[in-house]
Structure 1
Amino acid sequence: MNIMTILTNRRQQLLLLVVLITIVAILSLHYSPTSSQIVTRDKFLWPFSSRSPWNMPIGSNARYIKANIEKAQNISIDKEYFYKTNSKHPLRPVYAPGTWGQGRCTGTKSMNIYLPIPDTLIIPDATIYPYYTPNNASAFLMADGKTLVQLQPLTRCQQAGSIYGWHYYPDINIYGDGIGGAHFGSGLSSIGGSIRKGELTNNQPIRHALKVLLWAKKYLYYTNSIPGYRWPANRADNYAAQVYGGKNPALVQGTLLAIPPTVKTHTLNLQTSAAKKIFHALQDYGAYVVDDSAWDSHDIAVEQGVNEEFRKIYGYDLNNKNGKFYGELMRLFQALYIVDNNNPNSIGGGGIPRVALAPPIAN
């Protein structure tokens, strides 16, 4: 090959390279996302960092072991209350509840905080007949836009009155990992992991872990060496040594449960759109055990108002025991496995996340 041929070939190669670079540049400019296409999220509706346990997907290295959760006699919802405070509202003192049952608004021990809330806000007391002692975990986003104050069981019996609930301390930052909170059976968040309004009725997937409550007498394990909890929980119920009766050392407060990737919606014969949504959330993110349901019931934590909008769309309650949806929820719980290698260094089990991480917070 002579020198002229070599030079000609090189000129052609350079020309081709210039053409390719130009095409790539044009395509890049044409397909660059606009600001309206960049996905972000609202901190109040979808709180905490993208690598928070509440937002971290299950990973490809997740190690699944059997949870052996059986069908329960009941399905319940654990209502949670979330508020963005307004400094224009009057400050009201917070007291510890007088009792766990009826009479919560009789407490006199100050929690040494005041919250600005509208005088019209009422959160009813527990009742004896019927017996109803809701957890009422709650979170208040303060006026600084970052501090979350968490109480349980939130109660306010009269307009313009005091507020009642034990205060989780320290307060946490909504931009942080969001682990701690007023689910005092585990020390886990009031707001992280809660099914929010719209999430079961819109056409978008649930993009975070869930929270569940299991019957501790049947399922949760306790010994002196495994005292009823694991990360991210930092405690068990104060009656754990006497009541917890589970046989599986891996199933405690703070356990991450998830549906293995080999299971499909048709495997579980899921037909309702809501059950399919919950299935995908449980498979992609899982659910943390955060409290004791205290009876033969599987409970799911939801924001106050979720059940009402669910009923309006579907014609029945989330905790309806008579119908197709109840059976589907039971099959979902029975399909749950324990992600046994969930820990601070491998949240969700580590490896490649099943789905994309949560987008940046916009506000």
Structure 2
Amino acid sequence: MNRRRWLASASGVALLGAGAGCGHAPGLPDDTRPPRDPALWPFASDSLWNTPLGDGARYAAIRSPGFDPTAGARINTRQWSHPVFIAQADDPTVALHLLGQSRPVRVQRVPPQAWPGPMADGSLLLIDVPRRSVVELWRAERVGPDRIVAEAIAVNALTGPGMGSTWQGIRASGGSALGGLIRQGELEHGFAHVLALAVPPQALNRLGPEGKAWIWPAVSADDGGGWRYGMTGNLYLGRLLALPPEVALDSLGLQPGPETVLARALQDFGACITDTVQQGGPVALQGEPAVHDSAARIRPEALRVLVQQLRVVVNHTARSVGGGGRRRAPMAPEFVRG
């Protein structure tokens, strides 16, 4: 996956979480759901990542000469994925360095089994022992038992909004790689957050309404200016796509389980374009490696049907998150105290 050259010397602050399980119950009413662990379900309750679509959302057909809905989709779990590891109090201490710098950006406990993803991105997400922050590394390499070197490092708070006004994560959009990531258990038990979506670069329009190669909530683009993007259409980096409410999920031929769960998430929360895939490839949802077996249960034809039903949420803005109005699902509960 082609990434941002300018990230090599960047460093940011955002917010996120991660973990090996899914302990939330998104189908329960607000007053009966348990408090949440920020390592397993990150970001503030009013974060754009945790805000369901509203009945004020307006939908439009996707117009993009570089977008082929018949190409279907995949779920990145083992390739171009984001491995997530939560540190324990007895894990060894590791220094995290930017490439070429002797002074570490951060020193914290890291599980011995924490290794970057195998592809060129070398992504690695490390949750600290208090479960309050995540360190995101891009093109990371373990160079010894007590040292990891990376070309970009971002430290994000798990209890914050998850995206800000400046670069603060390792995705092309400038947001945290935990935002929208499919976590273990969610394909079985349900989602309570917006998903992250990557599309071919030629499907995106780099001539955004504000003269940039992205729209809110994105704050950056591939290679700084999205020069590989197209110049027409209504798909921009940062755009929210979703299944309109009039789409009857039981009419799509989906199987019970992960296929139906994913469809419901796309209708209740949608998927934000946060990154790009290889030119000409299918779109890709983002999942941590732990969801590989669950994702493999989703048939290619089911993913193709869902992509063909996606529409643009045209009024998803900072002042009208998810289109505004009555929400399709409960807002996220408060965090565990302590």
Q: TM-score, normalised by structure 2?
A: 0.78
Which of these residues, 74, 79, 82, is aligned with residue 81 of structure 2?
79
- Number of the residue aligned with 1:123: 116
In the alignment, structure 1 residue 269 sits paired with structure 2 residue 253: yes
How well do the aligned residues superpose, as a CA RMSD in angstroms? 2.6
Query: Residues 38 and 358 (structure 1 numbering): CA distance in 2 closer, same or farther, change over 3 Å?
Result: closer
Distance 2:228 2:32 in 1: 52
Distance 1:302 1:246 in 2: 29
Which of these residues, 173, 184, 187, is aligned with residue 171 of structure 2?
184
Distance 1:37 1:242 in 2: 48
Query: Residues 335 and 325 (structure 1 numbering): CA distance in 2 closer, same or farther, change over 3 Å?
Result: same
Which of these residues, 168, 180, 183, is aligned with residue 196 of structure 1?
183
Query: Residues 343 and 74 (structure 1 numbering): CA distance in 2 closer, same or farther, change over 3 Å?
Result: closer
- Contact (CA 8 Å) 1:342, 1:349: kept in 2 or not? yes
- Number of the residue aligned with 1:65: 60
Amino acid at match of 1:72: A
Over 6 Å off, 4+ runs: none
Q: How much does 1:234 deviate?
A: 0.5
Which of these residues, 212, 216, 235, is aligned with residue 231 of structure 1?
216
Amino acid at match of 2:115: I
Distance 1:262 1:148 in 2: 38
- Number of the residue aligned with 1:153: 139
Query: Residues 341 and 74 (structure 1 numbering): CA distance in 2 closer, same or farther, change over 3 Å?
Result: closer
- Number of the residue aligned with 1:31: none
User: Which sections of structure 1, spanning at least 5 residues, go unmatched?
Assistant: 1-35, 97-106, 127-132, 312-316, 319-323
Query: Residues 231 and 239 (structure 1 numbering): CA distance in 2 closer, same or farther, change over 3 Å?
Result: closer
Which of these residues, 149, 173, 176, is aligned with residue 157 of structure 2?
173
- Contact (CA 8 Å) 1:223, 1:241: kept in 2 or not? no
Structure having the higher Rg: 1
Q: Deviations over 1:250-291 (max 9, x none)?
A: 311111111100001133222242111111001000111110
- Number of the residue aligned with 1:28: none
Point out which structure has higher relative CO (alpha carbons under 8 A, 6+ apart).
2
Amino acid at match of 1:345: R
Q: Deviations over 1:123-147 (max 9, x none)?
A: 3554xxxxxx3462x4333234423
- Contact (CA 8 Å) 1:140, 1:148: kept in 2 or not? yes
In the alignment, structure 1 residue 47 sits paired with structure 2 residue 35: no
Amino acid at match of 1:297: P
Q: In proportion to residue count, which structure has more helix?
A: 1
User: Which sections of structure 2, spanning at least 5 residues, go unmatched?
Assistant: 1-30
- Contact (CA 8 Å) 1:216, 1:246: kept in 2 or not? no
Aligned residues: 294
Q: How much does 1:331 deviate?
A: 1.4
Q: TM-score, normalised by structure 1?
A: 0.73
- Contact (CA 8 Å) 1:124, 1:157: kept in 2 or not? no
Distance 2:332 2:226 in 1: 38
- Contact (CA 8 Å) 1:185, 1:237: kept in 2 or not? yes
